Amino acid sequence: MTNILLVALVACFLTQWLMDDLMGGRFTGALALSADGLRHGRVYQLITFQFLHGGLWHLLGNMMGLYFFGRAVEAILGSRGMLALYLISGTVGGLLQMGLEFAFPSYFGAGVVGASAGVFGLIAAFAVHAPDDLITMLLFFVLPVTFPAKVILWVEGGIALFGILSPFVTSTLSDSSGVLVAHAAHLGGMLTGIVWIRWRMAAPAFGFWRPFARNRPLRRDAPSPLPRRAARSARRKPEELPPAEFISREVDPILEKISAHGIHSLTERERQILEAARSRMAKR
């Protein structure tokens, strides 16, 4: 999914460049997110703005973030989960930016383009899920700097807040193409990533829409629904099962769970079963 999104961003950027050249910039004006567009019912801009960019460096910066953090989050949430988080982070970030533009048009009055809000959602999700994992970045594209993932969340969050609260920065800080930085969209994307991953970590078996549900423990005195022979097999330790039965009964359900909810949803016992399966395969 990360690769698909990267190709989509490049394709959309080329289309944007070609159509703006033919239409005198009206293509970006119609699809960029703006308060005026939402007033006229163009709600599709909440999605289309995420695939437009203000220039080549703007595009490359977002592609780098998407490449590194998108792959990591996709391994955690699965392809569908990563895509949903990416698009919803972008949408929420755009809504926050537009909310401030509606409230303070002279302060935030500018159209918004770029995948930054979605990328910041991915960054925040990874930083919350693995706060102590080390990240190495090239400062000024030359000097390698290594720090825990949680540091980038605090730094980027601080920059976003400062950009929102400081009229001087918000009115003058721009990227290489001269487009004002949508700090509120960045912050909205980060907040979405934090909430999303915390809900998924709190109740992974129930998915996003039941964040506060708890797994009900099985009753110890509950009668077994299995036939007597199957019940005896079920009581056997996984390592004692024949290989075919071990795969079908123990490993396949875990792989399905990873596909549906991501590897972070596994319990400690399920991780041990996967490790046992790996050891068995290594011995064959």
Per-residue pLDDT at 175 exceeds 50: no
Least confident of 57-61, 107-111, 153-157: 107-111
Per-residue pLDDT at 4 exceeds 90: yes
User: What integer is the mean pLDDT of 132-138?
Assistant: 79
pLDDT bracket for residue 204 (50, 70, 90)? very low
Q: Which residue has the tokens 């780098």?
A: 64
Higher local confidence (pLDDT), 261 or 239: 261
Higher local confidence (pLDDT), 250 or 6: 6
List Cβ<8 Å contacts ≥24 apart for 154-162. 156/120, 156/123, 156/186, 156/190, 157/187, 157/190, 159/183, 159/186, 160/184, 160/186, 160/187, 160/190, 161/187
pLDDT bracket for residue 277 (50, 70, 90)? confident
pTM: 0.66
CATH 1.20.1540.10 corresponds to the domain 2-206? yes
User: What integer is the mean pLDDT of 132-161?
Assistant: 81
Q: What is the pLDDT of residue 205?
A: 39
User: What integer is the mean pLDDT of 54-74?
Assistant: 90
Whole-number Å distance between alpha carbons of 227 and 173:
70
List Cβ<8 Å contacts ≥24 apart for 180-183. 180/110, 182/93, 182/97, 182/110, 182/112, 182/114, 182/116, 182/117, 183/159
Higher local confidence (pLDDT), 121 or 219: 121
Whole-number Å distance between alpha carbons of 15 and 219:
59
Least confident of 49-53, 144-148, 172-176: 172-176
SS3 of 118, please? helix
pLDDT bracket for residue 202 (50, 70, 90)? low
Can you list the alpha helix ranges (DSSP code H) found in 24-144?
A: 26-31, 35-39, 45-48, 56-103, 105-108, 116-129
In the chain, domain spans: 2-206, 228-283
DSSP calls for 167-205: HHHHHH-B-TTSPBP-HHHHHHHHHHHHHHHHHHHH-GG
Higher local confidence (pLDDT), 257 or 172: 257
SS3 of 139, please? strand
pLDDT bracket for residue 215 (50, 70, 90)? very low
Whole-number Å distance between alpha carbons of 185 and 205:
30
The Cα-based distances of 204 to 8, 129, 213, 265 in angstroms read 30, 13, 9, 5
Structural contact between residues 60 and 141, judged by C-beta atoms closer than 8 angstroms = no
Per-residue pLDDT at 146 exceeds 70: yes
pLDDT bracket for residue 211 (50, 70, 90)? very low
Q: What percent of the chain has pLDDT over 70?
A: 70
User: What integer is the mean pLDDT of 197-202?
Assistant: 77
pLDDT bracket for residue 256 (50, 70, 90)? confident
Structural contact between residues 94 and 112, judged by C-beta atoms closer than 8 angstroms = yes
Higher local confidence (pLDDT), 228 or 28: 28
Least confident of 30-34, 39-43, 196-200, 256-260: 256-260
Q: What is the pLDDT of residue 194?
A: 92
Mean pLDDT over all residues of the chain? 76
pLDDT bracket for residue 208 (50, 70, 90)? very low
Going by the DSSP 8-state scheme, the letter that residue 250 receives in this structure is I
Per-residue pLDDT at 95 exceeds 60: yes
Whole-number Å distance between alpha carbons of 96 and 120:
14
CA-nearest of 119, 118, 121, 94 to 196 is 121
Whole-number Å distance between alpha carbons of 25 and 17:
9
What does the block give as tokens for 143? 């000097």
